[in-house]
Amino acid sequence: MCVNKQIMTNKIKLLFICLAINGGLFSQTVNQFKEGNRVVFLGNSITDGGHYHSYIWLYYMTRFPNRNLRVLNAGVGGNTAFDMYKRLDGDVLSKNPSTLVVSFGMNDSGYLEYNGDDGARFGEERYQETYENFKLLEERLRGLTCTKIVLMGGSPYDGTAEIEGNIALKGKNEVMQRIVAFMKKSAAENNWEFLDLNAPMTAINQELQVNDPTFTLCGLDRIHPENDGHMVMAYLFLKAQGFEGNVVADLEVNSSNKTVIRSVNCEISNVRGSKDKLSFDYLAYSLPYPLDTIPQGWNATKSQANAMDYVPFMEEMNREEMKVTDLEKGDYKLIIDGEVIGTWSSADLLKGVNLAAETNTPQYQQALAMMHLNEARWEIERNFRDYAWIQYNFFQEKGLLFANNRASIDALDKETAHNGWLRMHRANYVRMMHQSFRETREAEMDMIIRKIYEINQPVKRRIVLVKQELN
């Protein structure tokens, strides 16, 4: 079903306004990350194989080029709160987090039994078990006096989308929302930070399903968001950190008297012009946020950029606004560092042009290189998460946690013939079991991160506007 994107975006904006008014959704509930922070995201497969945390870090990389921090993935597929409790020391605290973002609930709440003979009883049992498991985790988290704790209600199970071949589990997301509720209560009692991804993502799903019943942010399995869903998650996290209205840059130049009217988060100098031409030097202190337009991942159908149809990220957090007043009426060609970017009317330039939406600007290309480097870093980090998966989901119960020896290989090979998950992880494990290999991969990630923080530094650009002659 075809839905007009502008109508869709306007409806979503209205939806977010209603959520903000009714639920206080967009008050700042999570502190912004600071220079030198080590932010660890603890979760299940949605964190393990997902991109939301890398999208969040990319925002900091582009918006705060001198705020060097680390964002680390501590997700393991299939995990519950109890699983996270068991691996807290070896896999999570070993990363030395200054901030620990904790999310669980998808696996805790259970699966197929919701459509059994007594789904309501099953849901209640899983809720109670999750609560007891969380109390164990909560007690450990209380002891982390040097680590800031953020409890994050995770992305929802979508039980309302019409997905061919996938029967929805009745009542599962309602149990997940009850789990989010006790997380919120715990955060308040322990003076921890909190945000909820479940409610706003559920609201977006249900709003867009009115016109397209097959729409979902949660993937075709109703569980694992694709790239667009992860970008929505990143947007909601950044929103909770108070970044609405945080511009890349905001500038206004008067063409008639060659004066700078406004320069927010940027410097404008060397303004020159004539009747049909204006030029100036432009140094922005940030870069535009680049959006991947390619669906990434196995069987992916949606890209990160698709999320712009559902949330007002561009309007709220990715504005590089250029406004030029007192131009003669007509069309003007915009040139940056000798590259033709496009043509806008004097009326457009008076209203303001968002350069962050122009993918061919030199500054966007600078950011795009960072995006690709960050994706390469993410792919290496995934090797470490796959290594963690096999350690905690297989070797731990065998008494071989981090043994990394011949006995480990023998135990693994006894199971691979009838366990497809182990077969899939074996090739990665036989490399990662060697400390020298892990150290080399760590060094590769460090090299990529250093390069990102080298190339994200502000560059002075020369902007030229040339009036076009009428044909």
Nearest one of 36, 45, 39, 125 to 83, comparing CA atoms? 45
**Paired tokens of 210:** 């009115």
- Mean pLDDT of the 265-276 span: 93
Looking at residue 3, its pLDDT comes to 42
| Beta-carbon count within 10 A of 5 CB | 11
- Residue 427: CB partners within 8 Å, gap ≥ 6? none
Give the Cα separation of 412 and 56 in Å (integer): 36
pTM metric for this prediction = 0.95
- Give the pLDDT confidence of 350-408 residue by residue, as tens digits: 999 999 999 999 999 999 999 999 999 999 999 999 999 999 999 999 999 999 999 99
Candidate from 5-9, 17-21, 263-267, 289-293 with smallest mean pLDDT: 17-21
Q: Are 273 and 48 in contact (CB under 8 A)?
A: no
**Helices 198-209 and 5-23, axial angle in degrees (round to 10):** 140
Burial of 141 (0-12, 13-18, 19+ CB in 10 A): buried
**Paired tokens of 459:** 């560059």
The percent of residues in the chain predicted with pLDDT above 70, rounded, is 94
Q: Are 42 and 74 in contact (CB under 8 A)?
A: yes
Give the Cα separation of 322 and 342 in Å (integer): 14
Calculate the alpha carbon distances from 323 to 247, 255, 327, 334 in Å: 14, 10, 11, 12
Paired with 150 in beta bridges are 101, 193
| Amino acid, single-letter form, for residue 192 | W
Q: Are 301 and 295 in contact (CB under 8 A)?
A: yes
For the chain, the distance separating the N- and C-terminal CA atoms, rounded to the nearest angstrom, is: 41
Residues listed for the chain: 471
Give the Cα separation of 325 and 320 in Å (integer): 17
Whether pLDDT at 24 is above 60: no
Give the Cα separation of 382 and 45 in Å (integer): 11
**Alpha helices (H) in 345-405, listed in sequence order:** 346-351, 362-390
Whether pLDDT at 21 is above 80: no
- Give the pLDDT confidence of 406-431 residue by residue, as tens digits: 999 999 999 999 999 999 999 999 99
Q: In what order do the strands lie in the sheet with 461-467?
A: 266-274, 277-284, 461-467, 331-336, 339-345
Whether pLDDT at 14 is above 70: no
- Give the pLDDT confidence of 112-168 residue by residue, as tens digits: 999 999 999 999 999 999 999 999 999 999 999 999 999 999 999 999 999 999 999
Give the Cα separation of 169 and 430 in Å (integer): 37
In the CATH scheme, what is the code of domain 28-240?
3.40.50.1110
- Residue 121: CB partners within 8 Å, gap ≥ 6? none
Q: In this structure, is the dihedral angle defined by the CA atoms of residues 178, 182, 188 and 193, taken in order, positive or negative?
A: negative
What pairing do the DSSP bridges indicate for beta strands 320-325 and 259-264? unpaired
DSSP 110-169: -SGGGGSTTHHHHHHHHHHHHHHHHHHHHHHHHT-TTSEEEEEE-PPP--SS--TT----
Largest Cα–Cα separation, the chain: 80
Whether pLDDT at 81 is above 60: yes
Q: In this structure, is the dihedral angle defined by the CA atoms of residues 155, 158, 164 and 170, taken in order, positive or negative?
A: positive
Residue with tokens 């693994």, as numbered in its chain: 412
- Give the pLDDT confidence of 276-334 residue by residue, as tens digits: 899 999 999 999 999 999 998 888 899 999 999 999 999 999 999 999 999 999 999 99
Calculate the alpha carbon distances from 426 to 91, 229, 404 in Å: 20, 29, 12
- Residue 382: CB partners within 8 Å, gap ≥ 6? 49, 73
Q: Are 398 and 412 in contact (CB under 8 A)?
A: no
Q: Are 175 and 121 in contact (CB under 8 A)?
A: no
> Rg of the chain's alpha carbons, rounded to an integer?
25
Calculate the alpha carbon distances from 237 to 176, 193, 317 in Å: 19, 12, 12
Burial of 265 (0-12, 13-18, 19+ CB in 10 A): middle
Task: State how far Cα 123 lies from the chain centre.
Answer: 30
Give the Cα separation of 230 and 91 in Å (integer): 23
Q: Are 77 and 16 in contact (CB under 8 A)?
A: no
- Mean pLDDT of the 44-48 span: 98
